[in-house]
Amino acid sequence: MTKDVAVLGAGMHPWGKWGRSFVEYGTAAARAALADAGLDWRDIGSIVGADTVRCGYPGHVAGATFAKALGWQGARVSSVYAACASGAQAIAAARAQILAGLVDVALVVGADAAPKGFFRPAGGERPDDPDWLRFRLLGATNPTYFGLYARRRMAEHGDTPEDFALVKVKNAAMGALNPYARYRKRVTAEEVAASAVVADPLRLLDICATSDGGAALVLAGLDFAHRHGVSRPVRIRAVSTVTPRFPNTVLDLPDIATDSAVAVAAPGEPFRSSIARAAYEEAGIGPEDLSLAEVYDLSTALELQWYEDLGLCGAGEGAKLLREGATAPGGRIPVNASGGLASFGEAVPAQAIAQVCELTWQLRGTAGERQITGAHVGISANQGLFGHGSSVVAVR
């Protein structure tokens, strides 16, 4: 039995700071995806909404909220929350319903209206919440977290701020070609180096912004797709949502202590590498089969880490791969042809869905000026807070 599901429609609301409700962004993205699929909202058997704390409270839970905004029609509904992995979890839930035969076609929606500035913990005293603790005990804002990752790469692998800047230059050039991106301007390495220091060694242009935006997908069983007249759809072949393995010997915020490896041997691979491996195994492919990748570049240094975690190169070789041009358009494995978070910013529940939108357009050959020639296999990857794996393999 095939585990593939078809992507019949992909839609987005442009990223930016619009000052309106997340419901508006998600509804616009949903309608765009339905139009792309050539379906009516009443054709949808299930809607799965990706939540954030902001859109889940008070009074809003994303799945039902979007269903109400589109017009109650009795569809099944689910809402999921997994921080940055919420969109991938929503895709996984819709895919499971389709493969189980519960519905023929499902709509996945994620949207956010992010606060101005950097993310902060929700209010209240929560000493059992590791994310709250890292702010209160360490003062470790997200940029601090990104800066520590960058310092680790510099210490372990010899990466330089100049390497980090080249990631921004690459992604900004692609974002300039993307009509949905918030920042559509090319930058130079000199401009990155001249921007303000936020969390040494990272500067303002090394770190992604917080944004408003929305993304949606229409997924269907292959039989439904064929009946609908789509003989060769983009297909989702794997969704990896794995958790870490004990013991975790690498400090990884929001946790502020490592697990002991005295009595139990450490696993053979770090958490993020296991996310990609699970996706490859389910899809029956390897990194050598990829045409492109969309990764969560919360900072420029973190993109380099993803190169290694996806198996695009060996440990410590991410900067070398970048400098060789392998991850740029025309290279061996283009990464973040969409422009990435560098060009979009974070709209948390929408971003993993937006990654699959980009893979869909690339595999269809409809990505316009940023089209990767001959794209036929793509992977997305990010890590949700508290150990939520997130990776999707799409093929055509």
199 shares a domain with 330: yes
* Residue 35 placed within a domain: yes
- 183 and 228 fall within a common domain: no
pLDDT of residue 306: 97
Domain that holds residue 169: 130-205+237-395
pTM, 2 dp:
0.96
The CATH number of the domain holding residue 265 is 3.40.47.10
377 and 305 both lie in a single domain: yes
pLDDT at 130: 85
Q: Are 314 and 168 part of one and the same domain? A: yes
Do 139 and 17 reside in the same domain of the chain?
no
Is 123 within the bounds of a domain?
no
For 40-71, give one letter per residue: b (16+ CB within 10 A) or e.
eeebbbbbbbbbbebbbeeebbbbebbbebbe
pLDDT at 58: 58
How far is 134 from 195, CA to CA, in rounded Å? 27
Q: What's residue 378's pLDDT?
A: 98
Q: Is residue 124 part of a domain?
A: no
Q: Are residues 35 and 165 in the same domain?
A: no
Phi, psi of 133 (to 5 degrees): -65, -40
Counting every residue, how long is the chain?
396
Domain boundary among 191, 220, 236: 236
Task: Classify residue 115 as exposed, middle or buried by CB count within 10 Å of its CB (0-12, 13-18, 19+).
Answer: exposed
- 31 and 158 share one domain: no
229 and 347 part of one domain = no
> Which of these, 317, 270, 301, lies nearest to 151 by C-alpha position?
301
The whole-number pLDDT of residue 59 equals: 64
User: In this predicted structure, what is the pLDDT of residue 56?
Assistant: 67
Q: What is the pLDDT of residue 127?
A: 86
Instruction: Say whether both 192 and 83 belong to one domain.
Output: no
Number of domains making up the chain: 2
Q: What is the mean pLDDT of each run of 10 residues along the chain (396 residues)?
A: 92 96 96 98 98 74 95 97 94 98 98 87 82 85 92 97 98 98 98 97 97 97 96 97 88 76 85 95 98 97 97 97 97 98 96 98 98 98 91 97
Q: Tell me the two tokens of residue 88.
A: 């991938």
Q: Note whether 242 and 232 are same-domain residues.
A: no
Exposure string of 183-213, with b = 16+ CB inside 10 Å and e = fewer, is beeebebebbeebeebbebbbebbbbbbbbb
Residues 144 and 96 in one domain: no
Query: What is the predicted pLDDT for the residue at 123?
Result: 75
Domain boundary among 220, 236, 252: 236
So what's the pLDDT on residue 1? 63
